[in-house]
Every structure is written in C-alpha cells, then in structure tokens.
Amino acid sequence: MQETQTSSAAPQRIKSRGLEGVVALDTEVSKIDGQKGLLIYRGYDIDDLASNTRFEEVAYLLWKGQLPNQQQLDELNAQLRAERALPPFVLDLLRQAPEDANPMAVLQTAVASLALFDSEADDMSPEANYRKSVRLTARIPTIIAAYDRLRKGQEPVAPLDRGSTAFNFVYMLNGEEPGEQAERVFDAALVLHAEHGLNASTFTARVIGSTLSDMYSAIAGAIGALKGPLHGGANIEVMKMLLEIDSSGADAAQYVKEKLDRKEKIMGFGHRVYKTFDPRARILRETSEDLAEERGQRKWYDLSVQIMDTVKAEKNLDPNVDFFSASVYYMLGIDTDLYTPIFALARITGWTAHLLEQWEDNRLIRPSADYVGKMDLTVTPIKQR
C-alpha cells in the first residue's frame, strides 16, 4: 500500500479495524508468510536458526543483519556478561515490590527505572542505541530471576562471568547450573520467541520510538503490550487451562467444547497473520513431546494434543507459539506467571532491532480515527447542567 500524501493532496484513507491488512512500513528484520506457515529472520528460516544457532547469534543477526563470526560472537558474549548486573536502585526496587505483584508489571517498572542509571539513555546515536540493546538484553533476565527469588524469600543469585543467556537465566532462577538439555531447550525457545514482525508489542515500541523518545520508554511500552492475554499473556492462560483440566479430571475435548459453546476463546490458538500451523508451534510441539518422554511427564503433552485436535475439529484453528511453550516451560520447572516475562526476555532482541531500524529512517507513526460522536453541541453553564 503506497502512501500518497503530498502537500496539496489529501492522504489516501485506508480503514481497517485492528489495522488488519494495513502495511505501515518496510522492514528487513523478519518476514512472516501466514499462508505457508513460514517465519524468516533476516533471510534465514526459523527451522534452520532453531536447529543451528544459539540465542546470542540470533540477537546479533537481528541487530546487525548478518550472523556473527566467532570473534564477533565472543565480543557480544563478553558485552552481555559485563552488563548483566543491575544498578543497586533497581535491585532495591525489586526488594520493595510486593511478593504478589504481576511479574510483567515488575519487569516494566524495573526496565523503565534502568533509564535513570544509564548515562546514554537519551543518546540517540546508532552506537549508543546498539549498546542499550545489548544492555537491556543482558539485564532483563537478571531482573526476572532476581524478582522471582525475592518474592519467594530467597536472595538473588548474581550472574556468572561465563555461560549463555539461557544458562545464566536458569542459574540465577534456581541457584544451580542447568543441565545441558535444559539449557539447550531453553535456548531454542528464546530463538523461537526472538522476533515476529509488526506484532502488537513491536508496533508499540516503534510507535514510541517514532516520536524520537528513548529506547527504555519504547521497551517499557512494549512490555505493557506483551502483557495482554491476546498477545504474550496467552502462554500463562494455556498452562492454567492444562492445570485446570488435569486437577478437575475433566475430559479435555468436552472442556474445550463447553468453553467454545460459551463463546470463550481457547488461549494459544488462532493468529492474526498465520492461517496455518505457526512454524514455532510446530518446533515447540516436538520439544514438548521430547521433554515429556525424557521427564516421564507425558500427560502434559497428551493433554495438549487432545486440546489441539478438538480446537482444529471444532473451529479449524491451529496452535500459535504460546500453546506448546506452556507445557515446555512447565516441564522445565518454571513458574507459570514467568512465562510472559520469559517471552520478553527473548523478544527484547526483536524489539530493539526494530527500534534501530525505525531510527535509521524515522517518520512519526500517527494513524487517524473516524469521529462518530455527537456534533454541534454548545456548552451549558456549569450551574445549569
């Protein structure tokens, strides 16, 4: 869709509820083919990346447009290691946060507060914005893990001066180094969640970025958008559903049908762009089955498949990324309400890549609305109202 605004002509009007089908900008960061079920990060298929790269390589790819060589990857890993610790104020803030707070609200507050202690927060040079992308990617896992421990009455565990993002996050969460399998599965989940086009949170980040506001403001806004159950919050709702079916002993198919009869949505299904199987769900389905076998917890996978088959039969809808990630995180022993913060831990790379791209050639993002309210009213003096 070409924008046709000039100084003399009125802009072309494109009206679409929820902006469906509206192309707001060009991007080189990722491509989704919703008909074929393809997801491409900067030219590379998600299957290839999930099998053959680590999360840090994908972060570099998203930011820089090419996969790193060994030296570039070593440099990035060193930068991430150097940036993982939190400013004392932010750690104190996490100590003060109520133990029953929503972890996404805590993450959003903590990320916004990081700006106070970053002397580069308002430096809009590409170099400073790249450094902030790395800094945020390093610190978000530390925030999530520290808050999770504090709310359980445990002291935060300092990051190690070695190991990957996945390794460090699981280590900081549990105080124990993860096994090779847990690290690998978690790392692959981060790769799958790293980037996904102009979804609601990325769009939010770009809208805020387009005002030339700073990266922390844009990311705090994106976290707020991701929190919603129609976006990243769906993975929590999926696990709640699995647990409810399991604890009540309900028949999964019957449970789903009754929900649909009540016109309720089944979380983890449907997508604005994919009209076929989400490729990330396909990969996570395999991971969920492997983990279920290895950990002797088949019931979570079997239950998920029963739900999936029923939703397909009843509504012809396929699962999205949130559906099988729920059982995967559960079998890795991660608390349910951390699933969406973990989504943010991965997506920070995509959000920041989009912001770097936005600022390369910025134009304020500002759509319009049709006014359908009253007209021609006149003000009655307040005493007569």
Ligand X SMILES: CC(C)(COP(=O)(O)OP(=O)(O)OC[C@H]1O[C@@H](n2cnc3c(N)ncnc32)[C@H](O)[C@@H]1OP(=O)(O)O)[C@@H](O)C(=O)NCCC(=O)NCCS
279 binds ligand X (CB under 6 A): no
* Closer Cβ to ligand X, 129 or 320, answer by number: 320
**CA distance from start to end of the chain:** 48
269 binds ligand X (CB under 6 A): yes
Cβ atoms < 10 Å from Cβ of 114: 23
* Closer Cβ to ligand X, 157 or 273, answer by number: 273
* Closer Cβ to ligand X, 81 or 265, answer by number: 265
User: In the window 49-78, what residues touch ligand X (CB under 6 A)?
Assistant: none
* Segment interacting with ligand X, rule: CB under 6 A, options 112-120, 162-170, 317-325, 341-349: 317-325
* Closer Cβ to ligand X, 20 or 360, answer by number: 20
Between 103-114 and 126-151, two packed helices, what is the crossing angle to 10 degrees? 140
User: In the window 176-235, what residues touch ligand X (CB under 6 A)?
Assistant: 230-231, 234
* Closer Cβ to ligand X, 19 or 73, answer by number: 19
Would you call 231 a catalytic residue per the annotation? no
* Segment interacting with ligand X, rule: CB under 6 A, options 63-71, 73-81, 125-133, 267-275: 267-275
157 binds ligand X (CB under 6 A): no
* Segment interacting with ligand X, rule: CB under 6 A, options 117-125, 167-175, 261-269, 287-295: 261-269
Element (H, E) at 368: none
266 binds ligand X (CB under 6 A): yes
**Distance (Å) of CA 339 to CA 137, 229, 267, 336:** 17, 12, 14, 6
User: How far, rounded to the nearest angstrom, does the alpha carbon of residue 342 sit from its chain's CA centroid?
Assistant: 7
Paired residues of 44 in beta bridges: 41
Would you call 322 a catalytic residue per the annotation? yes
User: In the window 287-316, what residues touch ligand X (CB under 6 A)?
Assistant: 315
Count of residues near ligand X by CB under 6 A: 17
Instruction: Find the DSSP H helices in the chain.
Output: 46-52, 55-64, 70-83, 88-96, 103-114, 126-151, 165-174, 180-193, 200-210, 215-226, 234-248, 252-261, 279-294, 298-315, 321-331, 339-360
Contact between 335 and 174 under an 8 Å Cβ cutoff? The reply is: no
* Segment interacting with ligand X, rule: CB under 6 A, options 118-126, 177-185, 216-224, 262-270: 262-270
272 binds ligand X (CB under 6 A): yes
Quote the least distance from Cβ 258 to ligand X, whole Å.
13
What letter does residue 23 receive in the DSSP assignment?
-
From the list 115, 158, 317, 365, which residue makes contact with ligand X (rule: CB under 6 A)?
317
Lay out the site mask for ligand X across 105-144 (x = CB under 6 A, - = otherwise): ----------------------------------------
Q: List all residues 6 or more positions away from 277 whose beta carbon is below 8 Å from its beta carbon.
A: 37, 318, 319
Contact between 232 and 226 under an 8 Å Cβ cutoff? The reply is: yes
Closest residue by Cα to residue 14 from 373, 367, 371: 367
Residue number, nearest CB to ligand X: 270
Q: How far apart are CA 192 and CA 50, in angstroms?
A: 7
From the list 168, 320, 349, 358, which residue makes contact with ligand X (rule: CB under 6 A)?
320
* Closer Cβ to ligand X, 269 or 351, answer by number: 269
From the list 321, 326, 328, 344, which residue makes contact with ligand X (rule: CB under 6 A)?
321
**Distance (Å) of CA 249 to CA 186, 255, 306:** 30, 10, 14
Q: How far apart are CA 144 and CA 141, in angstroms?
A: 5
Helix (H/G/I), strand (E/B), else coil: 121: coil
Task: Check 271, 318, 337, 354 and give the catalytic one.
Answer: 271
From the list 68, 156, 178, 270, which residue makes contact with ligand X (rule: CB under 6 A)?
270
Task: Check 196, 322, 337, 354 and give the catalytic one.
Answer: 322
Contact footprint for ligand X (CB under 6 A)? 18, 230-231, 234, 265-272, 315, 317, 320-322
- The set of catalytic residues is 271, 322
